[in-house]
Structure 1
Amino acid sequence: MDPKLTEVSQKFERFKAAYKRGDYENCDNLLSDLKVLLTEFRSLPPLFEETPNAVHELTIARDIYENAVFLSVKLEDEEAFERNFFQLKPYYTDARDRIPPSPQEYLILGLNLLRLLVQNRIAEFHTELELLSSAALENPCIKHAVELEQSFMEGAYNRVLSAQQTAPDKTYGYFMDLLAKTVRDEIAGCSEKAYDYLSLKDAREMLLFSSEQELFEYMKAEHPEWEVLNGAVYFHKAKESAPSKEIPSLQLINQTLSYARELERIV
């Protein structure tokens, strides 16, 4: 075997061993070394040169970038996820006819769709969907993300939160938690504008918590300005702290009349 390929293979085995025992800091260091070593393989994107070990090099590089994506989830690093995913993507598209398909492909594509949904990048979400085959769209990992997006757009937040229980893989947990927080923040913002107060029971049900303790923990972390009095949650402090801007109606009327006079002169 080529000495460079042997070095990459040995270092990748060390990476997988560290990942298995939860030593993510060491994984991150090994990953940086592996990415540098991969730059010496001319068979990889964008060159795709036909070297004697091209298939092996492409396959191990894809495996490394797939593990890099999973590591970024463990580290809860969205920027690293995006960077590693874009480094991986050519192996799913441009190298599709050069190496066997990866069993992790649809799982990672689904994770990326979920990331775009969490970041509210809906246009990019649909662009990525357009690039997928009909077979891919039927995969449970992809369907899960599509159904979540539909529920989110419809405002069916209860379905979004219940989808945490039906995630196709445990790696989805990080993004599902972020999505749940986004949903609850949206509901909380609407609630404090629509109501002066809610009973604890109604507030808990509105925010889709299973217990009052979860509600109190959420309030402490996200809305310390809310008050609990006599079995109800009061939003009046949130309303008082919200900045209110007066609409300069007289100024707007004068500007509109001025524009109308100018138009009359032009005509």
Structure 2
Amino acid sequence: MDPQMTEVTQLFGRFKAAFIRNDFVSCNSLLSQLKVLLTKFPSLPPSFQESPNAVQELTIAREIYEHAVVLSVKTEDQDAFERDFFQLKPYYTDTSGILPSSPQEYPILGLNLLRLLVQNRIAEFHTELELLPTSALDNPCLKHAVELEQSFMEGAYNRVLSARQTVPHETYVHFMDLLAKTGHPEWEIKDGFVFFQKAKESAPCKEIPSLQLINQTLSYARELERIV
């Protein structure tokens, strides 16, 4: 095996071990090292140079970025999610003739749709949908996101809440919780229950005592007489 591939494979093994035990500090450190090593692979996007190890390089790089996206969900880092997702996306869109499809593709594409919903980036949500083949929308992960967006736009917040119980993948729970919090400004979710905040009572209007108003008016009138 190529020495660089050996180094990446071994380091990725350490990353996955840390990932399984939820050692996210180690995961982030190892991920940074892996990303540096991946820059030495000539076959990766955007260059896609021909290489004897192209399939191996593309396969392990795709898996690394898939783990990076899921890691960002577990650490609740939406900025990292966006960066890692866009680094991962070319492996889904531009390697169809080189690599077999990844079993994580639709779950991660669905995660990205949920992220766009949470961030209220509805136009981008629909743009991402338009880039997908029609058949992809039958996938449970993507179908879940589409139905959720419809419920959200219709104001059917009860369906938004109930959708949390039927998530197609465990990683969706984080974004579902965020969506529930942002879906209705009067919601508060606590211990699995939805509470509606009591409307704030408006402060009573202060009435100006009529005698005070009369005295002020007379005072102004006297001042005007002096001026004239």
Q: TM-score range by the shorter chain?
A: 0.7 to 0.9
Which residue number in structure 2 is paired with residue 40 of structure 1?
40
Secondary structure in structure 1 of the residue aligned to 2:52: coil
Partner of 1:5: 5
Query: Match of 1:182?
Result: 182
Q: How does 1:208-247 map to 2 (within 5 A)?
A: 215=195, 233=198, 235-236=200-201, 239=202
Deviation at 1:49, TM superposition (A): 1.1
Match for 1:150: what amino acid?
A: Q
Q: Is residue 24 from structure 1 mapped to residue 49 from structure 2 by the alignment?
A: no
Structure 2 unaligned segments of length 5 or more: list them: 204-228
**Pairs within 5 Å for 1:98-247:** 98-185=98-185, 188=186, 207=187, 215=195, 233=198, 235-236=200-201, 239=202
Alignment of 1:65 onto 2:69: no
Q: Distance in 2 between matches of 1:212 and 1:100?
A: 40
> Do 1:158 and 1:208's aligned partners in 2 also have CA atoms closer than 8 Å?
no
Q: 1:175 to 1:209 in 2, by over 3 A?
A: closer
SS class of match (1:170) = coil
**Deviation of the 1:208 alpha carbon:** 8.3
Aligned to 2:225: none
How many equivalent residue pairs? 203
User: Which has the higher Rg, Structure 1 or Structure 2?
Assistant: 2
Unaligned 5+ runs, structure 1: 189-206, 220-232, 241-267
TM-score normalised by length of structure 2? 0.85
* TM-aligned CA deviation for residue 82 of structure 1: 0.4
TM-fit CA distance, 1:235: 1.3
Residues 1:210 and 1:7: Cα distance change in structure 2 (over 3 Å): closer
Deviation for aligned residue 1:96: 1.6
Distance 1:160 1:214, change over 3 A: closer
Render the CA deviation track for 1:101-151: whole Å, top value 9, x for unaligned: 100000000000000001000000000000001221110000000000000
1:214/1:151 CA distance change after superposition, 3 Å: closer
Whole-angstrom distance in 1 between the partners of 2:35 and 2:184 = 39
